[in-house]
Amino acid sequence: MKQKQRNSRVLLIFTGGTISMTEDIHTHALVPLSYERMLQLVPEINKLDVAISTLPFTPFIDSSDVEPLFWTKLATAIYDNYAEYDGFVVLHGTDTMAYSASALSFMLGNLAKPVVFTGSQIPIGMMRSDARENLLTAIEIAAAYDEHGRALIPEVTIFFEDSLMRGNRTTKKNSEQFAAFRSYNYPRLAQAGVDIKYNTHLTLKPEAEKPLELFTKTDSNIAVLRLFPGMSQSIVNAILNIKGLRAVVLETYGSGNAPSHKWLHDALKQANAKNIILLSKTQCPVGRVAMGRYQASLNLLDAGVIAGSDITTEAAVTKLMYLIGHYGDDVATIKQRLTQPIRGEMTV
């Protein structure tokens, strides 16, 4: 695919994380840098044929402190600046980056421009940091348009090491290696080597004439329940009876299986009858929930559990937050939308 940089305008949004840090020479503790200092540490940025503007979210945060309100702020910043820029790069901590990228994918409807999240495993101010490569390549991707003026990757993505992945398909899989993220169930959207090779046939296809839509309402009354052998009835019941609980992401075995205990079946059935939404996703990073394949998932089917196909936990949680935030008590619509991809987050 022929790319044209056409002096794109990219907005760099700084939010914090390891990428924005350096080591204090006296205490050896990691301390945050200003965004101006960060940019000075990557002078090559000025050589890119891209007009870069900056938007620091201060104070910088460790991404462990990310909350839905932060996603609202981020999505609103992109929405407010959408007409001014061709692409957006979000510098973010790695720990919850997959949640943030998933959340943003749901919050931004009809997105026709690139929103690329990146960060680093080693602070930008330290030797051998991966920040420089990640940042420069993320900017290039955010600025990449074809000869018809269409963004090559009009989606919310994560770029890390050499891979560009759909954000809501991605999981942090390694806390030590530079390849920190992986999209297990969807091929990468681009690979950076000597050149950046774009797989444009794999991207979402926005209707360019439709305006960007912003959806920022969320509901966090969600639990994640990971099944394990020996799981106690009282704990499961306690979770399913939490006051105000709206939905549970059930992390099931293999292709969506669960123990056949009658008490579990009854508890899930009762929860479903109380309009608590039950979404099954597999504990296996690769593969999908296919309920009914084994006897061990028939009870779940009967209890009204919805199959989440190959959705990640990060996408399942944020999709539920978004759907419940927007459809409220319309449980039938929420359940229907859970069976279909909204932003390419699952395979049907």
Q: Using CB under 6 A, list all residues that contact ligand ASP.
A: 16-18, 62-64, 93-95, 119, 121
The one-letter amino acid code at 160 reads F
Closest separation between CB of residue 148 and ligand ASP, Å? 37
Q: Phi, psi at residue 163, to the nearest 5°?
A: -120, 135
Question: For ligand ASP, which is the closer residue by CB, 119 or 154?
Answer: 119
Could you tell me if residue 7 is left (phi over 0), alpha (psi between -120 and 50 degrees) or otherwise beta?
left
Question: For ligand ASP, which is the closer residue by CB, 112 or 131?
Answer: 131
Closest separation between CB of residue 49 and ligand ASP, Å? 29
Question: For ligand ASP, which is the closer residue by CB, 130 or 140?
Answer: 130
Question: For ligand ASP, which is the closer residue by CB, 18 or 282?
Answer: 18
Question: For ligand ASP, which is the closer residue by CB, 134 or 280?
Answer: 134
Closest separation between CB of residue 156 and ligand ASP, Å? 18
Distance in angstroms (rounded) separating the CA atoms of residues 146 and 64: 37
- Residues near 92 by Cβ (< 8 Å), separated by ≥ 6? 15, 16, 17, 19, 63, 100, 117, 118, 119
The one-letter amino acid code at 94 reads T
Distance in angstroms (rounded) separating the CA atoms of residues 170 and 71: 17
Closest separation between CB of residue 120 and ligand ASP, Å? 7
Closest separation between CB of residue 98 and ligand ASP, Å? 11
Is position 18 annotated as part of the catalytic site?
yes
Question: For ligand ASP, which is the closer residue by CB, 1 or 69?
Answer: 69
Position of tokens 């205490």?
A: 27
Nearest to ligand ASP by Cβ — which residue?
93
Marked catalytic residue, from 15, 18, 96, 312: 18
Q: What size, in residues, is the chain?
A: 348
DSSP designation for 289: -
Query: Could you count the other beta carbons within 10 Å of the beta carbon of residue 224?
Result: 16
How far apart, in Å, are the Cα atoms of 234 and each of 224, 239, 251, 305? 16, 9, 18, 20
Q: Phi, psi at residue 55, to the nearest 5°?
A: -140, 95
Closest separation between CB of residue 65 and ligand ASP, Å? 8
DSSP H or E run through 104: helix 97-107
Catalogue the active-site residues: 18
